[in-house]
Amino acid sequence: MTYSTTEEQQKAILVHIEFYDFNKIHSPLNAANEFKELSKSSGAIIVADVVGKLDRPNASLFLKKGKAEEVRDLVKELCAGLVIINHELSPSQERNLETFFGARVLDRTGLILHIFATRASSHVGKLQVELAQLTHLSTRLVRGWSHLERQKGGIGLRGPGETQLETDRRLVGQRIKTIKKRLDKTHKQKEVNRYSRKKSRNKLAAMVGYTNAGKTTLFNALTDNTQYAADKPFATLDSVTRKNSIPELGPILFSDTVGFISDLPTQLIESFKATLDELRSADLLIHVVDISDKDFRFKIEQVINLLADLNLQHIPILRVNNKSDKAEITDYRSLSKVDAGDVWVSAEKGEGLEELIDSINIFLRGGLFEGKVTLHPSLGELRSELYSSGSVIQETTNNLGLIQLSIRIGTEEISEFEKIEGFEVLDKEELKIKEAI
């Protein structure tokens, strides 16, 4: 499923069909608009929008005959070479529609896969996308490609009468196995990295949320990074982990992940196992919400459901209501509930971050202690651990020959260290105040 440059710029007709569903509590208000943004993001030139309603899809064409004829007439009139439908089509439906329209047909899954293919930059990301594409393609080899069912024989083929369809299915299967082996190797390396991180006591906070919620902008603000951020779906595809740059947070790692979307194809979830494992190893999930979006309630529901499907609901979640400035929110401090993990920010303007920092410290470290401690010289290993975690601000030696450190560390960790003989907190009153906060 690759496209040439000319195809990427070809004229496209969008078809958005709504189904009658009275059981949904929340439904998207701007589903058609999200579909249009996805299509624009793929590089297609949109020449027409067709909308309609259905109680159930047609088994053969998905669309009703009248609506299909309307789209066919537009294809001829506007010389469009592509029809994008905002739903998942069966292989036979896709084939029948292409024959009926006289143009190439792309369903929602194919559209998302194409966007992912154009955005993948890392080696692992490209392998993950190719695996998702081939998994999707393998279902299309069942009934979609009737022209491949002719007999083919010859030296080197599996049998004297192997069809082209069987050959292609075999080649796709072999490629899928090869990619899975490569990804498994990468997955094992990631496990080693996660083990090292756990040993160094570094906490991991992973950004999650609907696509285009502002996760990367917030990630850049917390890590002083310059990852690419843009106001479009799936601007981030490859997950990135960086150490935080804010002294008040201490040694915490932040991970920027690919955004979720409603009706996320199953094969994408399976293929992006390495990315999802990054979430499973997180100590905290930071759920970034675009609070200025009219559909924010629906999108929150979608993200929560996807986290449950991925068995991640046991990890603490801190909700960040981002783009508050666009929602005309000015008093961030009064709205934020730091202890409850519900804060309001504008990542782009850097506003409301103080409350977010306090909330992260409470969720990950039980609060933050900044003060002086003394260590007996025999506790060199503990001293080294404090340095490696980035907790030490300054070191001196007192009159008794004890090591005196000014540190910034989580109150939970301080409580553990106090049990060690030879370790003493000097600013105990300040520690109590911090814990009370």
Write the pLDDT tens digit of every residue in 30-53.
778 888 888 888 888 999 999 988
Amino acid, res. 266: T
User: CATH no. for residue 66?
Assistant: 3.40.50.11060
Q: Is the pLDDT of residue 15 over 60?
A: yes
CA separation for the pair 163, 175 (Å, rounded)? 19
CA separation for the pair 437, 432 (Å, rounded)? 9
If asked whether residues 155 and 233 sit together in one domain, one would say no
Could you tell me if residue 49 is inside a domain?
yes
Question: CA separation (Å) from 249 to 195, 256, 373?
Answer: 22, 17, 19
Residue 95 pairs in a beta bridge with none
If asked whether residues 80 and 91 sit together in one domain, one would say yes
Q: How confident is the model at residue 195 (pLDDT cuts 50, 70, 90)?
A: low
If asked whether residues 93 and 210 sit together in one domain, one would say no
Residue located via tokens 């692992």: 124
Residue 48 pairs in a beta bridge with 13
Could you tell me if residue 192 is inside a domain?
no
Q: Looking at 365, 394, 414, which one is the last position of a domain? A: 365
Could you tell me if residue 419 is inside a domain?
yes
CA separation for the pair 147, 153 (Å, rounded)? 16
**Helix (H/G/I), strand (E/B), else coil: 249:** helix
Could you tell me if residue 111 is inside a domain?
no
- Helix or strand run (H / E) with residue 65: helix 65-78
If asked whether residues 233 and 283 sit together in one domain, one would say yes
If asked whether residues 336 and 396 sit together in one domain, one would say no
Compute the Cα dihedral for 358, 361, 364, 368 and give only its sign: negative
* 14 secondary structure, DSSP code: E
**Which tops the pLDDT comparison, 37 or 158?**
37
* Spacing of C-alpha 147 from chain mean position: 38
Could you tell me the pTM of the whole model? 0.75
If asked whether residues 406 and 261 sit together in one domain, one would say no
Q: Phi, psi at residue 274, to the nearest 5°?
A: -65, -40
Of 101, 128, 104, 106, give the one whose Cα is nearest residue 117. 128
Q: Is the pLDDT of residue 73 over 90?
A: yes
User: CATH no. for residue 317?
Assistant: 3.40.50.300
If asked whether residues 77 and 180 sit together in one domain, one would say no
Domain count, the chain: 4
Give the per-residue pLDDT at 194.
60
- pLDDT tens digits along 324-379: 988 888 777 788 888 888 999 999 998 899 899 889 988 888 887 888 999 999 99
Provide, for the chain, the percentages of residues in helix, strand and coil under a 3-state DSSP scheme, each rounded to the nearest 5.
45, 20, 35
Amino acid, res. 289: V
Could you tell me if residue 194 is inside a domain?
no
Q: How confident is the model at residue 151 (pLDDT cuts 50, 70, 90)?
A: very low
Q: Looking at 47, 71, 106, which one is the last position of a domain? A: 106
Could you tell me if residue 213 is inside a domain?
yes
- pLDDT tens digits along 229-283: 776 777 776 778 888 888 777 678 898 888 888 877 766 776 666 667 778 888 9
CA separation for the pair 266, 139 (Å, rounded)? 13
If asked whether residues 263 and 342 sit together in one domain, one would say yes
Q: Looking at 327, 348, 365, which one is the last position of a domain? A: 365
Extended beta strands in 210-283, E state: 240-243, 252-256
Of 417, 424, 419, give the one whose Cα is nearest residue 403. 424
Q: What angle in degrees, to the nearest 10, is found between the helix axes of 31-41 and 108-119? A: 40
- What number is the average pLDDT over the span 55-62? 88
If asked whether residues 92 and 127 sit together in one domain, one would say no
Domain around 127: 116-186
If asked whether residues 205 and 89 sit together in one domain, one would say no
* 151 secondary structure, DSSP code: B
* Spacing of C-alpha 378 from chain mean position: 45
Residue located via tokens 């009139």: 77
Could you tell me if residue 196 is inside a domain?
no
Is the separation of the CB atoms in 75 and 43 below 8 Å?
no
Compute the Cα dihedral for 292, 294, 299, 300 and give only its sign: positive
If asked whether residues 273 and 342 sit together in one domain, one would say yes
Could you tell me if residue 298 is inside a domain?
yes
If asked whether residues 344 and 241 sit together in one domain, one would say yes
Q: Is the pLDDT of residue 141 over 70?
A: no
**Which tops the pLDDT comparison, 159 or 324?**
324
- What number is the average pLDDT over the span 404-420? 86
